[in-house]
Chains A and B, each alone.
Chain A
Amino acid sequence: MRTQSPYLLVSYAETNRVLPNPYQRVMVSVIVAAIVCIPFVAGGYFLHLMNLCSIAVIGAVGINLLTGYCGQLSLGQASFLAIGAFTTAILAQRFGLPFFVAIPASCCAGAMVGFLVGLPALRFRGIYLAITTLAMHYAIIYVLTDYQAVVGPSASAGITVPAPSLGGFTLNSERGWFYALLIVAVLVVMFGINLSRTYIGRAWIAIRDRDIAAEASGINVPYYKLLAFTISAALAALAGSLGAYFTTVVTVEEYTLELAIVYLAMIIVGGMGSITGAVLGAIFITLLPFGVERLFEVLPWQLGTTAFGIEQAAIGAAIIGFLLFEPDGLIEVYRRIATYFERWPFRYRELKGGSGR
């Protein structure tokens, strides 16, 4: 057994490790073990929340690859989710296809739509791109509204999705969903982390930081931008598809512009350009409305019909608060705390130009 410093790297395999030091490996194992044990101690309500978080994590990793890494501001995330959900609903309900066909097909459909929505990104950047994706969102939602009115039992009833089943086992309990969604979410997170460390991820970061310089260094900017849109939309469609199976009904009213903004809020709150940040942000924003609800149950006055408004306002306040006071998100808060303990009992100031401001 080797007892050298964790900072001394002697092989390429060590430099390529996702978790470079033993402390991180222990910590991640403990967290994973704790999460796996959750269903044995927690109630159905808590599991339901965790399942919502898992779905949000998948979508948030998708939009973080696009907006956080590649720097392409997108307000079209809700339409990608809607495409995934509707493809699943049509394939599973109308054609009776099993989930292992419907889910990959939904991802492909999402990827294709993402490619189309990404085409304007070859001409614009920044806010113009955001406005174009906004217009695309409404165009897609209009088509789906029309479709729902034609296919569904009535214009507003939505399409029901049968529970996924394989060989006599039907996935319909919260506990079963918990493990299924957890596995997919972990795979997506690992995919995101690894992708961001490869040539593709570094090309995206280069495009985000300065697209002209990226082009000058030989990066095929249009290709990588479209790739970011395609992958991001595929992941969003995966989240939409799983969400459709999970909630068992798909209605177009669910996929509003607010949903796209909520996904944007997740990566703002979590930290743009960090997969761990996307996970933290997704959990934070998903639990925020429920947290606010609980808070007001404790407080003396009753909310009644205004509860929805207060929850929305909390999300808006989170967006503004993090952009103004903590632009690098929750991950930066974590890093600061970690640095404090790492250096304890010394208190070095952050170096100028580092991650601090």
Chain B
Amino acid sequence: MELFVSILALGSIYALLAGGIVIVYKASRVVNFAHGELAIVGAYVFHSAGFLTGATLTGPSLLVTIAISAAGSTLFGVVIYLSLMRRLLGRPTFVAAMVTIGLAIILKAGIVVIWQSRSVGIAIGRQPLYSFAGGGRIAWIDLVSIVACVLMFAALAVFFQYTPLGRQFRGAAENPLLAAQRQVNVNLILALAWVLAVFSATLAGVLFGSRSMLSPQSTIIGLSGLTAALVGGLDSLRGAALGGFLVAAATYLTARLISPTLAETVPFLILLVVMTWRPWGLFGTLEELNRV
């Protein structure tokens, strides 16, 4: 039971990361290699903001910290789009992917320079929610992770399905040129995609930071998120959610049953299997794949 909840909580984090990657990919066909870095930088910012508003992270100071983080990540998403991605429209998408690699290096270096590579933890929700007879326990943060993930995906589903802007988003994702001719503001849509991506990455990073210590090496969770997105299919949000839980289950079970060092490599082994067996993922569409 405890194992199950842990997998669900970790899976929620991976699903959130994968969701962000999928949103950007759907909107602009750009694979974002900087997602893990965005998540961890977001978590560090959250930690510092928490420090500024009072180190306890309870009650009102927690709310202020969350507000600062949300506003900061939204702003950062807009900045990334306007300063980098907007200039790359019309260029091959792998160029944009390489720019995200450059961004990843800069963000990771930012952690080294600004936070001196200190390893920090975000002390929220560490209290046990429920203790089992065998000694295992579930922390509040596990519940918060799962609820946050469900809420985020529900909100995204409602947004894409029922709101006018969401419909415009799907239209622009399918065919930007036609959408632009029907007066959809494609620039706004792409900026929105980056905002949603950075926001969900920050959320995932903060949840991750509450479970384990943050360090520049934690940015590797971005690659777990990428694997989750590929398992589900790069253009499918449903797939991202399922992929997140599958990758989390595989990683966690390997760490428990076989060896913790192998667990770090498991996402990449899954990646290789998926790429050879079903490169378009579980829910992805076949024509999305750049086949030779």
Contacts and interface: CB of A to CB of B under 8 A. Distances in A.
Interface stretch (B1-9, B101-109, B179-187): B101-109
Contacts of A123: 279, 291-292
Contacts of A324: 84, 87-88, 99
Contacts of A128: 275, 279, 289-290
A319 B113 contact: no
B95 A327 contact: yes
A139 B269 contact: yes
B72 to A, nearest CB: 20
Contacts of B261: 142, 145-146
A211 B94 CA distance: 16
A122 B292 CA distance: 7
A73 B101 contact: no
A316 B289 contact: no
Interface string B270-292: 01100110010000000001111
B127 interface: no
Contact of A130 (B97, B113, B272): B97
A127 B292 contact: no
Contact of B106 (A265, A268, A317): A317
Contact of A317 (B102, B264, B275): B102
Interface in A304-321: 305-306, 308-313, 315-320
B93 interface: yes
Contacts of A308: 112
B108 A312 contact: yes
A306 B112 contact: yes
A132 B272 contact: yes
B226 interface: yes
A268 B103 contact: no
Interface in B227-286: 230, 261-262, 264-265, 268-269, 271-272, 275-276, 279
A31 interface: no
Nearest to B230: A131
B223 interface: yes
A323 interface: yes
A237 interface: no
Interface residues of A, number: 44
A132 B271 contact: yes
B120 to A, nearest CB: 16
B98 interface: yes
Given A142-B262, A211-B292, A308-B112, A316 B102 contact: yes
Contact of B103 (A124, A258, A312, A320): A320
A152 interface: no
B109 A316 contact: yes
A210 to B, nearest CB: 12
Given A268-B98, A323-B95, A131 B292 contact: no
Contact of A261 (B105, B109, B289): B105
Contact of B290 (A126, A261, A305): A126
A73 B94 CA distance: 8
Contact of A264 (B98, B108, B264, B272): B98
A195 B279 CA distance: 33
Contacts of B97: 127, 130
Given A319-B102, A320-B84, A127 B94 contact: yes
Contacts of A320: 84, 99, 102-103, 106
B98 A323 contact: yes
Contacts of A138: 223, 265, 268
B166 interface: no
A130 B110 CA distance: 25
Taking each of B95, B97, B275, B276, which has the highest tally of chain A beta carbons within 10 Å of its own beta carbon?
B275
B58 interface: no
Nearest to A73: B94
B113 A306 contact: yes
Given A123-B279, A316-B104, A320-B103, A136 B272 contact: yes
Given A125-B292, A126-B290, A318-B102, 13 more contacts: A127-B94, A127-B290, A128-B289, A128-B290, A130-B94, A131-B31, A138-B265, A142-B268, A211-B292, A305-B117, A308-B112, A312-B112, A323-B99
24 contacts: A124-B275, A124-B290, A124-B292, A127-B97, A130-B94, A131-B271, A134-B223, A135-B272, A138-B223, A142-B268, A268-B98, A311-B109, A312-B106, A313-B106, A313-B109, A316-B103, A316-B106, A316-B109, A319-B101, A319-B102, A319-B105, A320-B106, A323-B88, A323-B98
Interface of B: 31, 84, 87-88, 91-95, 97-99, 101-106, 108-113, 116-117, 223, 226, 230, 261-262, 264-265, 268-269, 271-272, 275-276, 279, 289-292
